[in-house]
A and B are shown apart, each in its own frame.
Chain A
Amino acid sequence: MNCRSEVLEVTVEARQIDEAMLALLHTILLHRSTGKFHYKKEGTYSIGTVGTADSDCDFIDFTFVRVSSEELDRVIRKAVCEFKDGLNNSGSDGMGQISLEFYQKKKSRWPFSDECIPWEVWTIKVNVVNLANEQERQICREKVGEKLGEKVINVVEPQRRPAVSVQNHLPDHRFPGHFCEHHYEETDQRHAGAVRIRNLSLY
């Protein structure tokens, strides 16, 4: 399977899980989001515009850029919240991972179901630590901010390599959902199945 896999590992405090996950997931999705395709006559089309928004973290000394879409933000927050709850309730020693998977949905003929072929998977491993006093929390706040910055650079680096789906499949009417298209104007323009967030093992 030609699926590109990237792994990011972060060590955070319990209250920083949300923001650290959001920062990385939004950064990845920013690079994988495009505007809405408007098909016109004569085989031409135009692409909508993606807006961006800065988000400051409250518990981490960090600011990240996300796609300016409340709907997308809600979806991501919900997934992160579920992951965090699972992490807290699992009884594991504060370790778990969450994955963001980009896949291509290939329609199959009856009676076969549609085939989901992932072409890129981002896995974020989380290691949660407990801190006692405020001084350590302050150090943690700054350190995690620096680490997240390094992770963002790690996210950006693979973008130099073209995404497999872009290289092999130019915009095609059959596969409009190469990228996550959650972002435009609150209307339901999302192509379900293009992106999946999976909570993998909590260990």
Chain B
Amino acid sequence: MDSDLSPQDKKDLDKFIKFFALKVKMEMFVLLPTVRHFCVPSDFIAVIVYEPLLWLQTVQVIVQARLGEKICTRSSSSPTGSDWFNLAIKDIPEVSHEAKKALAGQLPGIGRSMCVEISLKTSEGDSMELETWCLEMNEKCDKDIKVSYTVYNRLSVLLKSLMAITRVTPAYKLSRKQGHDYVILYRIYFGEVQLSGLGEGFQTVRVGVVGTPVGTVTLSCAYRTNLAFMSSRQFDRSAPILGIIVDHFVDPPCSSQRPAVLGQPCNYRAPDEEDGGAFAGVQDSQEVCTTSFSTSPPSQCVCTLSPSPSKMSKPLPLDSLQLPLAPGLVAHNMCSSRVSYQPGALPGAAEVHPTAANAAQVLHAGKEGGVGVVPCQPHGAETHLTGEPPLNTPGSSGDDEGLSRSAEERSVSPSDPVEYLNAFTRKVGAFVNKPSTQITAANLDLPFAAFAARGLDTEGSDPMVQPPESPPSQSPLQASLHSQGSEGSGPQDDFVMVDFRPAFSKDDLLPMDLGTFYREFQNPPQLTSLSLHISSQSMADDLDSLPEKLRVYEKNIDEFDAFVDMLHRRQSALKVWSGS
């Protein structure tokens, strides 16, 4: 090979080899600008140089396409140090780090495919694989091709095709809508591509094929077509009590029951300009976590990281997940303007995400931004309603009063999270069957106390336990609710009458609650227009007006014909879409 090279080429080749050996030891992916001047280096060396760059850029393009944001990069007439393949592709350090870690110091090659798996994970802990991108190389060589320009240009076209195709697959639309309900994760692995998680009927699309002197590079994608989501929960559900499914208060299965590797989230936030644009490699995890509860189960709580609880950071979808971290994975704490990087130590990483499952205490944020603590009872499938942590929805008017009352009762300022942790008032949920020996209304912080009937401090008058007698009703449904006709039945038996008191009902508009309103207006009087006397009169009028209507229709017959033609045309157009 050396005899075919000119002295200039030999010099460049020596330069290349020395440089490449040095860089393989250190970083492997940073090259001198002279490379891009196309000094006709050895084709073999050039392909070895381009290949890992292609892997890296491919991963960057795929992950950035799933961030959920529109990507925009600027064109430049002068190439910069990081613009490989003549494309302005942003370099996210986290993604590069993950890709390099997956490479594990080895060069990808024939028989060693690089795969990027994109999956969806809901806030309830369910996950689903969406697509798998596979970059592989086979042994079919194109020895006549010139690497210096042609292969480089084709690799550039390949990346452009990748950009276009990543916006076409169904996962793109899902990634644009990711948020509190679900997030998109990615996982990089080498070896044989795994498509079993894509479900039946998955589609494949070939992005591009580029021949090189050392092998043919193929980039393809397999994506799921059946996006019907099936819950993968495997824990038992207990029988519903009072119409409420108990597993609402049960945490998702522990990490051992989940897939070993979940992947990294695709919702990177670039650091602000004030931070110097530098990626903060390791951030301290000392920041206080503020959590806002909803009436949903603890697994759906949103956790935000902020320097102090008084600053209500925008909750980010990642933080709503309980990510069980497998060995070797990295935990990422996403803030609104900062990315933190945690090494893959499991116990430490797991603590970064205080969840209802793992933490003994869960922070609770009030409307004012204060922080409270609600201790979680140990969860399990057999958990009953008593003693469950209350789940309030900030923002509802009912909660405001409940939260303000609870704030008043507490002597600690909400702005101080640590002290707030220590001073805790136990909250009880709206539908809790309160044992009389433990809790009374006097010392309870009832979330919906504003709507509780006055003077119901004793259990005997508690409508949740002793429902008031309902007025007599003719409806059979009402009779069954009472269950008074059954033998030996009473409120204390297996069937408990619950007075329907919806959580957010108000007494302001009507002097009665919704249940009473329903009972009273269940049998409304019949409409007069439906009575026989009036219907017979209208029919006679219709018959009289019929000839006049017919005259009008005959006059406008052309319009009706045109309308029918339009319907026919539209129908054929719809057939084209559905058929093609």
Contact = CB atoms under 8 A, between A and B. Distances in A.
A189 interface: yes
Contact of A153 (B73, B168, B172, B209): B168
A53 B39 CA distance: 31
Contacts of A63: 70, 167, 172, 176
Interface in A116-143: 127, 129-132, 136, 139-140, 143
A68 B70 contact: no
A70 to B, nearest CB: 10
B436 interface: no
B73 A53 contact: yes
B570 A132 contact: yes
Interface residues of A, number: 57
B568 interface: no
Contact of A189 (B77, B87, B205): B77
B77 A65 contact: no
B88 A160 contact: no
A51 B88 contact: yes
A45 B37 contact: yes
Contacts of A189: 77
A116 B145 CA distance: 28
Interface residues of B toward A: which range? Answer: 35 or more
A18 B71 CA distance: 22
A11 B573 contact: yes
Query: In the complex, which of the residues B156, B172, B207, B577 has the most CB atoms of chain A within 10 Å of its own CB atom?
Result: B577
Given A51-B88, A136-B570, A46 B37 contact: yes
A50 B209 CA distance: 21
B456 interface: no
Nearest to B153: A166
Nearest to B38: A44
Nearest to B87: A50
Interface stretch (A28-36, A78-86, A95-103, A107-115): A28-36
B161 A184 contact: no
Contacts, number: 158
A48 B86 CA distance: 6
A6 interface: no
Query: In the complex, which of the residues B167, B569, B570 has the most CB atoms of chain A within 10 Å of its own CB atom?
Result: B167
A170 interface: yes
A159 to B, nearest CB: 5
A11 B76 contact: no
A197 interface: no
A47 B566 contact: no
A156 B75 contact: no
Nearest to A36: B77
A27 interface: yes
A156 B164 contact: yes
A65 to B, nearest CB: 5
Contact of B164 (A68, A147, A152): A152
A171 B87 contact: no
B32 to A, nearest CB: 13
B576 interface: yes
Interface string B33-47: 000111100000000
Contacts of A130: 566, 569-570
B214 interface: no
Contacts of B153: 34, 166
Contact of A185 (B77, B83, B157, B578): B77
Interface string B187-209: 00000000000000000011111
Contacts of B207: 156
Contacts of B75: 35, 48-51, 67-69, 183-185
A65 B88 CA distance: 13
Interface string B73-95: 11111111001001110000000
B430 interface: no
Closest 8 CB pairs of A and B: A51-B75, A149-B168, A54-B70, A51-B73, A49-B83, A51-B88, A129-B573, A44-B37
